[in-house]
Structure formats: C-alpha cells, structure tokens
Amino acid sequence: MRKLKVKNNEVAVYAVGGLGEIGKNMYCVQYQDEIVIIDCGIKFPEDELLGVDYIIPDYQFLIENQKKIKALVITHGHEDHIGGIPFFLQKLNVPIWAGPFASELIKGKLKEHNLLRTTELHELQEDTVLKFRKLSVSFFRTTHSIPDTLGIAVHTPQGTVVQTGDFKFDLTPVGNLPSPNFQKMAEIGGKDCLLLMSDSTNAERPTFTKSERFVEKSIKRIFTEIQGRIIFATFASNVYRVREACEAALEQGRKIAIFGRSMENAIEAGQKLGYLNIPEEALVDAQELHNLPANKLMILCTGSQGEPMAALSRIANGTHRQISLQPDDTVVFSSNPIPGNTVSVNNLINKLDEAGVTVIHGKVNNIHTSGHGGQEDQKLMLRLIKPKFFMPCHGEYRMQMIHAKLAEQTGIPEDNCFIMKNGDVLALTRDSARIADHFSAGDVYLNDADINDNVSSQILSDRTILASEGVVTAVATINVKKHRITAGPDTISRGFIYMRESNELIHDTNKAAFSSLLNTMKKKSHPTEKDFNNNIIDDLQEFLYQKTERSPMIVPMLIFE
C-alpha cells in the first residue's frame, strides 16, 4: 500500500484528475486513515486519440488505500463529475452520496453497467451532514447549468476544506428554482476555512456570467421568428435549457419529439423530480413526425458538440433512420464547444449549411450562457469563503494561474496559493501548507464501457502511425533448415503508396526484404522467428525512409517450413 509522506497531524488534499485540464474531476481530502472523495468524472478524447471513447483517471492509488475511503460525494450530475463512477466501481465499491438529480443520472449509469444492486447510493439534500470518526461533510447550494448543484465542505481537525464544484452566481434562476445560498457560504467563511478549491473554467472571462433567464428570453424571441421545423440541440443534462426550449415550443403550439438516449434519460429524470413539466400529449414519437405541419414541431436532440454518433450528426450526415433534413428547417445550437470539440462542431455546422438549412449558433444570437462563473463570480466566492489557503482546480494551467492571481487580489498571499498537478499532495495544518508528496495520476484510455479494455500508449502510437504513415506488409515463406527463401518476399502497401503507380519502389522493397532475410540466416546458424521479424522491420523501415522520407508500420507475415 502506498502511504503519503505527510505528518500525522496534517490534512492531505490531492486530485486524481481535474487539475491542468477540463474534465476528469476527482479530488480527495485525507486525514490519517479517512479519505473523502469528491466527484468521479471522465474526459472526452480529442481527435488525435484514435479509437479512444473515454479518458478516466488512474485509480491505482485509491485502490491501494480503499480501506480508508469513507464516501464518494458528488457536486452535480455532469459527465466530467459522475461519468467515471461505473469504471471506478468496477475496481472498488464505496458508498456514494449525491443530490436528487445527480442520483437519478447515476442510477441510470449503474443499471446500464449492472451495478445498481451492488452499489450503496444515498440521496442527499443541502442540509445533509455526513459524520465519520475524524471527518465530517456538509453542503451548500450553488447554481450551475444543471439542477441540484452543491458545494462541499469537508470538516477536519485542522479546519474546513471547501470544494465549490462547478458554479456561477445566478440570482434569477429559471423556473423560480433556488438561488445560491450566500448565507451558508458566508457562515463557512466566518469560521475556520483552511483551504478553498474553486472552479477555474472561466477564469479568462473578466465578468459575471449571465443568468440563464437571459437565454430564456432569446430562445422565445428566436422561436417566434421560425416558420419551419425547429431542431434544437443542447447538452442533455442542461435541464434548464431543455425546459426553456420546451416552454417556448409549447407557447407556439408545437409538438416535441425527443431523440438521443442521454436526452431521453435526462428528461425522464427532470420530469420525475419536477424540474420539467412537459404534458404527455405534447410529446410525439418518430412515427408521428411526418403527420405534423413543419411549423408545429420541435425536434429536441443531442449532438451539440459534434459527437459523430449523436442524433444531430446522423441527421446532418443523412444516416438517421427517422429524420431527414428539409429546406425550411432551422437548427439551433444552444451550447458552446467545450475544449477539444471546436473542429467537430464547426464541421457539423458546415454540413448543415451545405444541406441548405438555417443554422443559429454563437454568442451573437444570445442562445447560450455558461454554467461557470467568470472572474467576478470567482472573486465573490473567494470573498465569501475567505480561505487561508487557495488551490484553483477544474481548469487548464493558464486558467489556474489567472484564478490564483484573482485570489491575490482578494487578499490571499501569493505564498498561500498553490498551482497543483494531478497526483501532487498538499499537506495542511492550521498554520502551514506545503506540497509534501506526489503519486502517479496519469490518464487511462478506454475503448468502451469496460475498464479492463484500456488502450496502452503503444497501441495509441501504432494507431497514429497507421493513420499518418500507413502500413507495409512483407510476406515470405522460409525453409530455416535449408537456409532458403522458398516463396516471396512480396510487399503489400495500405495507406502508404498506391501500388499500381509505384512498381519500381515495390520491386526495390521486395529486394530489400529478400536481402534482410538472407542476412539474418547468414548471421545466425539457427535464427528464431523473432530474429527474422525484428531484422526485416528495422531494415525495411530504414530503406523506405531513405526512399520516401516516410515511416510506415512494417508488419512481417513469415511462414516457416
């Protein structure tokens, strides 16, 4: 078991994911033999991670210390905060505590992975207090782009460690939902707050983030101007935005069709908890779409981030089974691209434009506001919580740096601000803070929903070479005993050169392969299969680079008689 290099009286705070990046949020507070984990998220891969479906943290340190884990507490139900739970539970089982909406989303994930019966899942409210032998946990209400968002306060013998989760200060939430609990935040700040870990996502924006009600007005205005079908794309978990779109559609007498599994799940949870109120008679299925006039229909779907298998991408590509684009359609993107998705979103918008439909997107149309606070929100949080030490989290390095500078502006000394990396361990007492240790906290790349089906760095390297350089296969039959090549060698190219137009190069490559095999037999009286494979790979890579300045993958296919 890996033990931390901290003193017995020190509180250890560290992140397994979420520092220096957007996504993969997973933070831990440890005192002696008790650990409280905050969030368990995933990150979605960028284009260069070929064939990777999800990125999760490396849980190895927590697996080795699982007897110390008392609870996994959840700030809210976005994928970068709960998406890793099924993978985490495949390695170790811990009790989970989450707000009502996050609990419903987590239940859906657990059912999908056949983990619901074996998982201890508790629903919490803002006034819930979890008490352990040495640590306790309380909560305070925040606002974000999803219901039931909570900040978390972990109370330790040395003081309180606060994790804000994702937040902004929305004073006029839609649907008369609760606003941020300033009183409880100020109460925490009026006591002994040791450390604040705060959302850095929008640290580059020198403003307060606009209220969701601002978007509500824009959506209603835009909808009144649309005569044909509306195809409305947003994050499935942004129930507030879904609510605004549905209310605007119903005011115009439009029926609503829902597409995308995550959208269906989120709406089901929102209806169950009272965050959505869509009359049953207003919902139509795919079979009824063609029986309705275009101006009486809104299609609500996933895919606002350009995900290739989401409903909107399939509609744009003409591969959706139930929906085909019509000339008078209007597609509304009610979201901004998250980091890494800009190219995918732009490509999707281009395809829709080429199809001749109207596309509404971007800040100019006022159809999206962030769920993350800007600099003014962040400074207000710092003033309310009044921590002795500060650790910016959930953001890329430049965002963390800017957030730390904001903390200095609010009176926190520079020496009390810590820009941390995943795996760094901050050791705290009432009067001191130091980076005391570091453990391995890298990325784990997954092919699908099984944590054991992960993608190694070697596999990723091979995929990159295949995608950029192609592959050359060398086929030959060898009689090792007689030291003779009885057939071949023949080389076959895929993604490297067009063989019909490269006869001379193919001929020369065959000769190089022949020489390589002969040299292997000359150098050793009893060469092994590994000897042949290694030599032909090395020799052909060198030969082809000299000829083409490219380095395709070499795959020997040698038959031994």
| Active-site amino acid positions | 199, 372
Does the annotation place 507 within a ligand binding site?
Answer: no
CA-wise closest residue to 314 among 322, 236, 421, 362: 322
Does the annotation place 285 within a ligand binding site?
Answer: no
Q: How far apart are CA 108 and CA 51, in angstroms?
A: 25
Does the annotation place 237 within a ligand binding site?
Answer: yes
Residue 417 CB partners (closer than 8 Å, separation 6+): 389, 390, 391, 392, 404, 407, 408
Does the annotation place 53 within a ligand binding site?
Answer: yes
Does the annotation place 526 within a ligand binding site?
Answer: no
Does the annotation place 81 within a ligand binding site?
Answer: yes
Does the annotation place 403 within a ligand binding site?
Answer: no
Laid out side by side, the sheet with 283-284 consists of 283-284, 255-259, 297-301, 230-233, 330-333, 358-360
Does the annotation place 317 within a ligand binding site?
Answer: no
Does the annotation place 198 within a ligand binding site?
Answer: no
CB 49 within 8 A of CB 460: yes
Does the annotation place 122 within a ligand binding site?
Answer: no
| Residues making up the chain, counted from first to last | 561
Quick check: helix, strand or coil at residue 320? Answer: coil
Give the N- to C-terminal CA distance of the chain in Å, as an integer: 51
CA-wise closest residue to 173 among 126, 209, 198, 125: 209
Does the annotation place 369 within a ligand binding site?
Answer: yes
Does the annotation place 166 within a ligand binding site?
Answer: yes
CA-wise closest residue to 61 among 114, 10, 118, 1: 1
95: tokens are: 């009790």
Quick check: helix, strand or coil at residue 133? Answer: coil
Provide the CA 231 distance to its chain's centre, in angstroms: 25
Q: What does each C-alpha distance from 313 to 289, 294, 323 come to in angstroms?
A: 19, 21, 11
Does the annotation place 394 within a ligand binding site?
Answer: yes
Does the annotation place 479 within a ligand binding site?
Answer: no
CA-wise closest residue to 297 among 272, 266, 276, 322: 322
Does the annotation place 449 within a ligand binding site?
Answer: no
Handedness of CA 90, 92, 95, 101 (dihedral sign): negative
CB 470 within 8 A of CB 501: no
Does the annotation place 189 within a ligand binding site?
Answer: no
Q: How far apart are CA 212 and CA 240, in angstroms?
A: 8
CA dihedral of residues 46, 48, 52, 54 (deg, nearest 10):
-20
DSSP 210: P
**Is residue 153 exposed (0-12), middle (13-18) or buried (19+ Cβ within 10 Å)?**
buried
Rg (CA), the chain: 28
Q: How far apart are CA 485 and CA 559, in angstroms?
A: 10
Does the annotation place 76 within a ligand binding site?
Answer: yes
In which residue are the tokens 């978007």 written?
A: 215
The annotation places the binding site for Zn(2+) at: 76, 78, 80-81, 144, 166, 394
The annotation places the binding site for substrate at: 236-238, 368-372
The annotation places the binding site for Ca(2+) at: 51, 53
The annotation places the binding site at: 51, 53, 76, 78, 80-81, 144, 166, 236-238, 368-372, 394
